Structure formats: C-alpha cells, structure tokens
Amino acid sequence: MHKSWPWLFSIPSKVFNSSTLVKLSLGSRLYCPSFPPDTSLPALKVLLLDSILFRDDQLSNVFLAACPALEDLTIHHTYHPCVISSKSIKKLSLSVNSGYYGAGYILTLDTPSVVDLYYSDSPRHNAPVFHLDSLAKVTLDLHFIEDNNREVQNDADVKNLIREICNVKTLHLTCSTVEVISIYCKGGLPMFNNLVELVFSSKKEGWRVLLPLLLEHSPNLKTLVLSDLHRYTFGRRHRFVGIPIPPNNQIKVLRIMQYQGSATVLKHISHFLLNMDRLEVMKVKTALDGPKKMQLTEHLLKLPAASCKLKIQVL
C-alpha cells in the first residue's frame, strides 16, 4: 500500500453477490484485501472503479472472473493495476497516475474483445503488454510525470505502445500525447494502414512534425479532426508555411474545432482546401456568433478548393 494513500474503508462483502445488478460504481479510496467465496455478479455489464486498491491479482483472477457479462469497465487509479484480464469487456477506460515509482511496473491488458480503449498514463520503462485483438478505437492521453527526476522519462518505451495500436480505425491523440510521442518516436512511426479517422491536437512542434508524419503513414485516412490549430502560429518576420499534406491523401471530411477567428488558422484552412482534392465536407466549429460568424462563413465560402464536391458548414 502506498504510504500517501489515506485508505479509510473496506468494501462490504454483500456488494459482490447479486444476480440482478447491472451497473456498479465503487469508490473512492477503498481497500479490498480479499473477496468472499460466493462472489458472483452474472448480470453486471457496467463497472466503475475509482481508486480501489486490490490485493495481488485479485481484480482479474477473482472479481472480473465473477462478471462474465461485463462489457464496460472504467478504472481510475493513482497507483498501478498490473493485470486487467477479461474476455467479455468491449469498452475499457483506464486512467493511471502511477508517478515516478510506479512507472517501472509492467501493465498487462488481456482483453481480446475490447473495441474501444481510453488509456491515460505516463511514459513507462516497459511498454504495456496489450492483448487487444478486436481494438478499433483508441484515445491516448499520455503525459509526463510531474516529478523533478526525469530518469523514467529518459528510459521510457513509447514506440512499442504505438506499435500495439497501429491497426486501429479511429485514433484520438490529446495535446500532451502528441508532445510525448514527438519526443520518444523521433525515429519514425509504424504504418497506420487501417486508420480512417484521426483526432489531433497539439502545440507548434506537433503540427510541424508529427501531424505530417501521421498523414504520410495513414494512406486510408478519410476523416481528420483538428483542435487547437490556433497554437500553430508564425512570428511577423516568418513566412507562413502550411502543414505538409501527402499528394495522394484520401481525406473526405475535415473538421476544425475551436476556431476563434485567427487569420493564421484561416490560412491553414485555405492550405488544406488546396491540397485535399477528395474533400467532400469541411465543418468549422466556432464560438463566434452573429455578424462575426456570418463574416467567417463568407470568407470560407470564397476560398478556392481543389475538390469540386466540397460543402462547408460553420457550426
């Protein structure tokens, strides 16, 4: 047990035996040293565990094994669950805040039926071991450890993690994830041949380096969603340079999120329209309203485009 955890309560044993319970939420900061011998939750489909500490591997070997119908599992943990194993789970959301001393543990996900994965963690010495044969959608929220000691970050293995998810159809990378990948995957990325939808957010470096690399390695990408594009700016003395777009790109849907009226973002949009000749729909989400929104719509409709099928929507 981590010494900084003020564990206050244990979980009543009756919680773990019910033939009708469909949804269960447990938390937070509870300790479950063992399970009763009659543990059985045959109807449970949705399970949320918020800062629950289990002993050894009892989470998978006893608890999850007693939930044969479980489909949706969410775990928020400030320490390290080492093994999560279930054949029935289809949606898994895992948030780990292990800190410096937990980053050396190997995390194993033996969940072959998971289709939708949300994974939040910091870089680890050893990449997680994934058995995710059905995986189609991934949201990655990687972030650096808030610790002055950067040894873990220097030795972290992110490349294997990326290789584990390179066959997904939908990939969402948060801004912090892009920063992590940009540092640890400078040697290149695997091909994302099955990727059809990419959600991307970044600061300047990610727009300049990682997004072009992802576009180049995703030959079948159809939908591109961009957030925080206003962060990719240029000083007054620097010439505008558009994000490199592969000439053979297959992008049909472009969504620009959080547009705030920036002239630089408008230049980026113009660059996209000129270099995406298969584009059919562009949706621009903006907080502008009234005359400013109408003016934006007029500007967008006047932009030249390589695709004759393009329809523009301002939301």
Q: Summarize pLDDT for 57-96 with one digit per residue, the tens.
A: 888 999 999 999 999 999 997 565 578 999 999 999 999 8
CA distance 216 to 240: 21
Contact 309, 280 (CB under 8 A): yes
Question: How much is the average pLDDT of 180-209?
Answer: 91
User: 65 CB contacts (<8 Å, ≥6 apart)?
Assistant: none
Asked whether the predicted pLDDT for residue 254 surpasses 90, the reply is yes
DSSP-derived 3-state class of residue 75: strand
pLDDT tens column, 89-145? 999 999 987 665 455 678 899 999 999 999 998 887 777 889 999 999 999 999 887
pLDDT score for 9: 59
User: Does 107 or 245 have the greater pLDDT score?
Assistant: 245
C-alpha Rg value of the chain to the nearest Å: 23
Percentage with pLDDT > 90 across the chain: 61
Q: Angle at the Cα of 189 (from 141 to 128), degrees rounded to 5?
A: 45
Asked whether the predicted pLDDT for residue 148 surpasses 50, the reply is no
Helix %, strand %, coil % of the chain (to 5): 25, 30, 45
Residue with tokens 């990449």: 127
Contact 189, 214 (CB under 8 A): yes
Enter the pTM of the model: 0.91
Region of poorest pLDDT, from 126-130, 252-256, 298-302:
126-130
**237 exposure class (CB count in 10 Å sphere: 0-12, 13-18, 19+):** exposed
